[in-house]
């Protein structure tokens, strides 16, 4: 500790001199003989000290306190809590002995180190949980959590106890690259192949149409089942739709079964696949799997019209044909002889055209939704005359290259993250150059960006009216976006999704009902069931003054009633997790004299990822430890691991020195001392009766 001021130390001498001068003038120049000498000296001393201290406080002195802090090394103990741990032959050991050994190991480390405990599976959480119940394993998220949560800490080591199996997130080896401290791994599970039949994967279309035959592909893995035969069955309810025996030849064999099923009922249909177990299987949890197919009885008809052939027509057609929802036809404008009303959406490529558009009025006057693609062949004057909601004014027919900039406030449909990433690197569209004026009711999906400057002019936008929905793409060369998507991602998925979502929005006719319930028809087992609702009054204005009740019913008839919470514009409910199975719901609301209700269904799909791969990946754990100056141990070697960590010279405490300054003028004890000096002096003076 020490005392410092902003003035030279010599000023302290002047403070003492001031106190001495004050005491001398007060007592020695007016000294009286009837006061005892000791009392006279005491009063002089008290006055000297009090005045000197007060004068010193005028120098704004600070108390400097220097403290040394010792930070122990932090040992992070991360335990894998996923189900795959219990699917190994040592499951009994992990249930009974291992939890006690791990607790003793952590307690021993705490004698010398600070220990932080984490559990990970589907997500990372504080504390060690050894229930081994998580349905997914994300090891990469663990490294991200550790680096974020314990940044700038004296981390001695990370101890990763896992079987090395991950089925969510990125490769842990690369996720650990940012880690700058030793990593020790505890290799759990078993690397030996057990006798097991695994229903590895089922591939099929998620959406088909009533009466269609759709393909199903089943991938089987057989470990140590050479010479065995198993039967594969597909059931819908109690009806067996498919059955086939499969013969396995190698010690590790893979079989692919291809078949077709017929969509005979509309709605969300559940199919069950079963591989009958062979004798001595280590686990039968991975012998069963369900898949769901949404059977629709309506396919949207889409027409693409053009005046002159263009690559954009083919790109849009290919994108739409990637989805089973649409049936796409292309026509030259003059050859289009179909009734426009039979189509949900009509796409007009560079129409109205400068080359002519005589057959266009019956299309723009129909109830079909329209999607305009503007380009160099578009007649802007004729387009403006259609009063679509967008007007482009230009003195000359000029065009400029524009890049897309996503409107973060767009809410008509959601964009996947992959699409947003792709759009950052696509080539520009060739857009009409001029002044864009659009209706305030426009929903802008993409703005035009010229170079690195984002403008307020729209590149893709939508309008909704009582008559129809309208979409406008202000630019040609969409085919370049599709090629760029393939170049970046290796497929056309992002571009196809963009076109599909745009057309899907335009094709959906507005629901003019006064009560709407929004809920997905399928959820994974680890997802929360989220439900939204909207209520409208007779003027079709959103209201939420009345309670919306919903009852969810499972397959056994159990009912779960809820009341939706009120939001700014509607209603919302997070009903939490439900066990796998089929569920029906009925929602109702009474507003005024009217009672509205909606019915629907959804399915909870079980997560069985942990059972699909039960062979521990100790090689991954070894590589992670080796690349981060650590070692790999086995669960029964925790005592050896403890000694290794204690012996590491690079895992040691860190010493910090901190300095803290406190204003001495605010010190309570110093105030009491001054008060005591002045009070004591006053008391002695009054008692002597001389001053």
pLDDT digits (tens, 9 = 90+) for 173-230: 999 999 999 999 999 998 888 888 989 889 988 878 887 788 999 999 998 898 889 9
73-192+615-652 and 515-605 in the same fold? no
| Rounded Cα gap, residues 524 and 529, in angstroms | 9
Q: Which tens digits make up the pLDDT trace of 64-111?
A: 887 888 889 999 999 999 999 988 888 899 999 999 999 999 999 999
Instruction: Please determine, for residue 46, whether its predicted confidence score (pLDDT) is greater than 70.
Output: yes
- What is 73-192+615-652's CATH superfamily? von Willebrand factor, type A domain (3.40.50.410)
E runs forming strands in 147-195: 155-162, 183-187
Mean pLDDT across 227-254: 91
| DSSP per-residue string spanning 243-282 | EEEEE--SSEEEEEEEEEEE--S-EEEEEEEEEPPPTT-S
- Domain locations along the chain: 2-67+660-688, 73-192+615-652, 196-296, 300-507, 515-605
Please state which architecture CATH assigns to domain 300-507: 3-Layer(aba) Sandwich (3.40)
Chain-centroid distance, C-alpha 515:
31
- Fold for 196-296, please state it: Immunoglobulin-like (2.60.40)
* Residue pair 462/412 in contact by the 8 Å Cβ criterion: yes
Positive or negative: CA dihedral 29, 35, 41, 45? negative
What's the pLDDT score for residue 691? 53
- Indicate the angle between helix axes 91-110 and 638-647, nearest 10 degrees: 30
What's the pLDDT score for residue 426? 93
| Rounded Cα gap, residues 449 and 609, in angstroms | 43
Q: With cut-offs at 50, 70 and 90, classify the pLDDT of residue 510.
A: low
Q: Which tens digits make up the pLDDT trace of 130-150?
A: 889 898 999 999 999 999 999
Q: Which tens digits make up the pLDDT trace of 467-505?
A: 789 999 999 999 999 999 999 888 999 999 999 989 988
What's the pLDDT score for residue 1? 64
Q: Give me the residues paired with residue 399 across strands.
A: 432
Mean pLDDT across 357-374: 87
* Average per-residue pLDDT for the chain: 88
What's the pLDDT score for residue 51? 86
The C-alpha R_g of the chain, in whole angstroms, comes to: 39
Give the length of the chain. Answer: 691
Q: With cut-offs at 50, 70 and 90, classify the pLDDT of residue 511.
A: low
Q: List alpha helices for 444-573, DSSP H.
A: 478-489, 493-507
* Longest Cα–Cα distance in the chain: 133
Mean pLDDT across 533-562: 90
| Rounded Cα gap, residues 78 and 145, in angstroms | 11
Does the domain at residues 515-605 carry the CATH identifier 3.30.110.70? Answer: no
| Rounded Cα gap, residues 630 and 644, in angstroms | 10
Instruction: Please determine, for residue 592, whether its predicted confidence score (pLDDT) is greater than 80.
Output: yes
The pTM (predicted TM-score) of the whole model is: 0.59
Q: With cut-offs at 50, 70 and 90, classify the pLDDT of residue 31.
A: low
- Indicate the angle between helix axes 37-57 and 668-688, nearest 10 degrees: 150
Q: What percentage of residues in the chain have a pLDDT greater than 70?
A: 98
Q: Which among 240, 269, 201 is positioned nearest to 582, based on CA atoms?
A: 269
* Residue pair 468/459 in contact by the 8 Å Cβ criterion: no
Q: Which among 326, 100, 361 is positioned nearest to 207, based on CA atoms?
A: 326
Q: Which tens digits make up the pLDDT trace of 629-664?
A: 999 999 999 999 999 999 999 999 888 787 788 887
**Cis previous bond, 352, omega within 30:** yes
Q: Cα-flanking dihedrals φ and ψ of residue 424, to 5°?
A: -70, -15
């Amino acid at each position: 500790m020490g005392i410092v001021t902003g003035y030279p130390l010599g000023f302290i001498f002047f403070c003492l001199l001031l106190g001495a001068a004050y005491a001398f003038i007060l007592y020695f120049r007016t000294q009286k003989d009837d006061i005892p000498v000791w009392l006279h000296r005491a009063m002089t001393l008290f006055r000297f000290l009090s005045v000197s201290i007060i004068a010193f406080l005028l120098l704004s002195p600070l108390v400097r306190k220097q403290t040394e802090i010792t930070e122990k090394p932090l040992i992070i103990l991360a335990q894998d809590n996923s189900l795959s741990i219990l699917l190994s032959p040592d499951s009994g050991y992990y249930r009974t002995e291992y939890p006690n050994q791990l607790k003793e190991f952590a307690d021993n480390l705490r004698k010398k180190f600070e220990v932080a405990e984490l559990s990970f599976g589907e997500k990372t959480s504080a504390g060690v949980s050894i229930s081994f119940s998580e349905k997914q394993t994300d090891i990469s998220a663990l490294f991200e959590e550790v680096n974020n949560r314990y940044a700038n800490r004296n981390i001695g080591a990370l101890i990763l106890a896992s079987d090395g199996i991950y089925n969510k997130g990125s490769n842990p080896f690369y996720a650990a690259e940012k880690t700058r401290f030793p990593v020790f791994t505890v290799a759990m599970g078993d690397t030996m192949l057990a006798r097991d039949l695994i229903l590895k994967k089922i591939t099929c279309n998620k959406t088909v149409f009533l009466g269609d035959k759709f393909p199903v592909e089943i991938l089987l893995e057989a470990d140590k089942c050479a010479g065995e035969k198993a039967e594969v069955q597909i059931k819908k309810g109690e009806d067996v739709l498919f059955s086939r025996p499969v013969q396995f030849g190698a010690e590790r064999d893979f079989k692919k079964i291809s078949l077709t099923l017929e969509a005979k009922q509309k709605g969300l249909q559940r199919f069950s696949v079963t591989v009958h177990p062979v004798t001595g299987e280590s686990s039968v949890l991975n012998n069963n799997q369900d898949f769901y197919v949404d059977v629709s009885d309506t396919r949207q008809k889409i027409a693409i019209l053009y005046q002159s052939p263009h690559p954009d027509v083919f790109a849009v057609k290919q994108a739409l044909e990637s989805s089973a929802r649409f049936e796409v036809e292309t026509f030259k404008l003059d050859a289009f002889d179909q009734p426009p009303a039979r189509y949900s959406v009509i796409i007009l490529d560079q129409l109205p055209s400068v080359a002519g558009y005589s057959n266009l009025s019956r299309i723009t006057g129909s109830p079909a939704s329209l999607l305009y693609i503007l380009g160099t062949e578009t007649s802007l004057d004729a387009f403006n005359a259609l009063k679509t909601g967008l007007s482009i004014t230009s003195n000359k027919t000029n065009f400029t290259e524009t890049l897309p900039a996503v409107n973060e406030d767009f809410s008509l449909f959601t964009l996947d993250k992959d699409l947003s990433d792709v759009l950052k690197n696509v080539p520009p569209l060739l857009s009409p150059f001029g002044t864009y004026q659009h209706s305030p009711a426009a929903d802008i999906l993409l703005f035009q960006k010229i170079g690195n400057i984002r403008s307020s002019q729209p590149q893709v936008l939508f309008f909704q009216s009582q008559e129809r929905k309208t979409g406008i793409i202000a630019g040609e060369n969409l085919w370049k976006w599709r090629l760029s998507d393939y170049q970046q991602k290796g497929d056309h998925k992002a571009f196809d999704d963009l076109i599909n979502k745009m057309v899907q929005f335009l094709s959906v006719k507005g629901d003019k009902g006064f009560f709407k319930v929004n809920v997905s028809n399928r959820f994974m087992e680890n997802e929360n069931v989220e439900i939204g609702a909207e209520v409208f009054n007779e003027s079709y204005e959103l209201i939420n003054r009345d309670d919306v009740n919903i009852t969810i019913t499972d397959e056994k008839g159990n009912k779960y009633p809820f009341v939706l919470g009120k939001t700014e514009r509607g209603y919302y409910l997070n009903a939490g997790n439900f066990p796998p199975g089929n569920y029906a719901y009925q929602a109702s609301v009474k507003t005024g004299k009217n009672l509205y209700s909606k019915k629907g269904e959804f399915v909870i799909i079980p997560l069985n990822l942990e059972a699909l791969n039960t062979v521990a990946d100790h090689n991954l754990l070894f590589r992670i430890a080796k690349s981060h100056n650590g070692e790999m141990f086995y669960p029964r070697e925790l005592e050896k691991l403890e000694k290794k960590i204690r012996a590491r010279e690079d895992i040691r405490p860190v010493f910090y020195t901190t300095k803290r300054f406190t204003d001495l003028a605010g010190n309570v004890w110093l105030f009491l001392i001054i008060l005591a000096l002045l009070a004591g002096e006053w008391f002695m003076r009054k008692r002597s009766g001389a001053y």
